[in-house]
Amino acid sequence: MNNSSDNNTNEKSEADQHSEKIVKVINPILSLKGKERWSFAIKTMIITAVLTIIIYLVPDYYDLENITTLLSYKLLNFFGYSPHLSYFTEPITDLSWFDQVAYNSYDPRRNYYPVISISTSISNSRFIIVRACTGMQAGALLTSLVIVTPAKTKNKISAILWVNLTLFLGNTLRIAMMVALTSLFMEQFGLSYETSWYWAHDVLAKPIGILGTIGFVLLVEKNNVPILDTMTTWIDSFFDLFDYITGSKKPKK
């Protein structure tokens, strides 16, 4: 009887080891434990934060702002609206300190923005397309996550290209929709510009943005770059830290 019990224990031990090997092959990030997981989480979080800031703040995005505006303008024309294109120059003193540095050193278009205007019976509304309107906050974060996540280089390149292309197209549609809805609310319901913009931008467009972000994450995963595993490791590490601080669990070695 003892031999049989020992054999069963050995078989279970071998099965567990085999399962761990499978996990390491399929999800090498999730298989990290203790200090390895902490090291991976801290490094990737810091690199992701730094890269996101650099990608979003440093480049000259005027051309992207302009192309996004032109395509949104054409969409509005196609659906029967009568938009007008113009440009707005922001005073240098109104720029943030970083934008002022960029303007004076390498980016003279930092304060120059394309504008879509639509006239209604209520007022002539202007929509200035700035950096934040390009969707590059999400683009910078997703690109950074792809870069820090262990995966084949060709898969990373494919994921970055597909995500940013899809983001650009989806964001162009989003801007055209917000402009159209704002003018529609003003014209048909007599709402003020501020109220109309609130309903178009905050109430209706933000849920679409959230769903879009989920779609972009799934698109990255489809390209075999497991950014969800990276984020899961971050969350697990935070829980480990919380347990350590509260004394509910000793840190894993």
| Per-residue model confidence as pLDDT tens digits over 101-115 | 999 999 999 999 999
Which residues, 6+ apart, have CB-to-CB distance to 215 below 8 Å? 166
Number of domains in the chain: 1
Number of separate helices (H) and strands (E) present in the chain: 9, 3
pTM: 0.83
Which residues, 6+ apart, have CB-to-CB distance to 119 below 8 Å? 82, 84, 125
Asked if residue 64 belongs to a domain, the reply is yes
Nearest to 231 by CA among 27, 64, 67, 15: 27
Asked if residue 16 belongs to a domain, the reply is no
To which H or E segment does residue 118 belong?
Answer: strand 112-119
- Which has more pLDDT, 128 or 18? 128
Asked if residue 21 belongs to a domain, the reply is no
Q: What confidence score (pLDDT) does residue 121 get?
A: 76
Q: Look up the domain containing 101 and give its range.
A: 35-246
Q: What confidence score (pLDDT) does residue 249 get?
A: 61
| Per-residue model confidence as pLDDT tens digits over 213-246 | 899 999 999 999 999 999 999 998 888 888 778 8
What DSSP line would sit under 41-106, residue for residue? HHHHHHHHHHHHHHHHHSS--HHHHHHHHHHHHHHHHHTT---EEEEEE--GGGS-HHHHHHHHHT
